[in-house]
Amino acid sequence: MEKQEDCLVIGGHAFHSRFILGSGKYSLQLIEAAVQDAGAEIVTLAVRRANTKEQENILDYIPNGVTLLPNTSGARNADEAVRIARLARELGCGDFVKIEIMRDSKYLLPDNAETIKATERLANEGFVVMPYMYPDLNVARDLVEAGAAAVMPLAAPIGSNKGLATKAFIQILIDEIDLPIIVDAGIGKPSEACEAMEMGAAAIMANTALATAGNLPLMAAAFKDAIAAGRKAYLAGLGRVLTRGAAASDPLTGFLHD
């Protein structure tokens, strides 16, 4: 039997990698190595006012064939997110957009209500919309209804490297939502990425975990392996956990005593 390919499909586009790489907080010179060692096919970007002193174009550092996923960071409401998404599309990145709407700069938590509004408007404009959200099943259902192509729940506050703080709620989304659930924000270690993949997450998005690592490309490779391992484990189906007691792995007959 031919082995079926295991693809991540977002808005009709198929990807082999399940690692979405952020490009913030590290040098442009490291991006290419990070993308290669991560095996990433999707890289996130931010849109900001252009500074004429900054002559380097980040797009020159991203390998060809990588899908660009601009975010709407800096948006405080749906109107601002729509505006940033349109500008990103004008910058020539394609139709993907990660909606990120925050009202406070202390905790950087996503505004779920505004995110639903922005998702609906951008999906109607033909964008492949990937909303970053606080994991809430009702909101996730509204995002599906609004036309999202994936749902991106946070694991922990952005940039915190605190891991799967919202694990139980992400599991509910994985179990109930018929779209790729991509765990975004807060994942600090490859083991946490692996755990989320074992739970059935479709992909992992990471930035700070790499940007703050001692060796960025090596950490990118570690995440790649962990994500692949977690995916295989999910597809294999994890073994059961006993509620109590033990179960021998060895034969219970033929002992060397009477």
**Which residues define the annotated binding site for 1-deoxy-D-xylulose 5-phosphate?**
159, 185-186, 207-208
Among 16, 48, 103, 232, binds other proteins (CB under 8 A): 48
**Residues β-bridged to residue 129:** 97
**Distance (Å, whole) CA 194 – CA 256:** 41
Active site residue 98: yes
Is residue 184 helix, strand or coil? Answer: strand
Among 17, 44, 112, 119, binds other proteins (CB under 8 A): 44
Say whether residue 50 binds other proteins (CB under 8 A): yes
Say whether residue 25 binds other proteins (CB under 8 A): yes
Say whether residue 67 binds other proteins (CB under 8 A): no
Say whether residue 55 binds other proteins (CB under 8 A): yes
Instruction: Write down the least CB distance from residue 251 to other proteins, Å.
Output: 52
Within 10 angstroms of residue 72's Cβ, the number of other Cβ atoms is: 27
Say whether residue 73 binds other proteins (CB under 8 A): yes
**Distance (Å, whole) CA 83 – CA 64:** 27
Say whether residue 124 binds other proteins (CB under 8 A): no
Among 102, 158, 182, 187, binds other proteins (CB under 8 A): 158
Instruction: Write down the least CB distance from residue 247 to other proteins, Å.
Output: 43
Cα angle 232, 205, 154; round to 5: 105
Binding residues: 159, 185-186, 207-208
Q: Which single residue is written with the structure tokens 């082995």?
A: 3
Within 10 angstroms of residue 231's Cβ, the number of other Cβ atoms is: 21
Say whether residue 87 binds other proteins (CB under 8 A): yes
With CA atoms as reference, report the closest residue to 222 among 234, 239, 204, 235: 204
Task: Indicate the Cα dihedral angle 89, 69, 117, 141, nearest 10°.
Answer: 140
Say whether residue 58 binds other proteins (CB under 8 A): yes
**Distance (Å, whole) CA 99 – CA 77:** 10
Active site residues: 98
Q: Please report, as ranges, the residues that interact with other proteins according to CB under 8 A.
A: 22-26, 28, 31, 44-50, 52-55, 57-59, 68, 70-71, 73, 83, 86-88, 90-91, 93, 158-159, 185, 205, 207-208
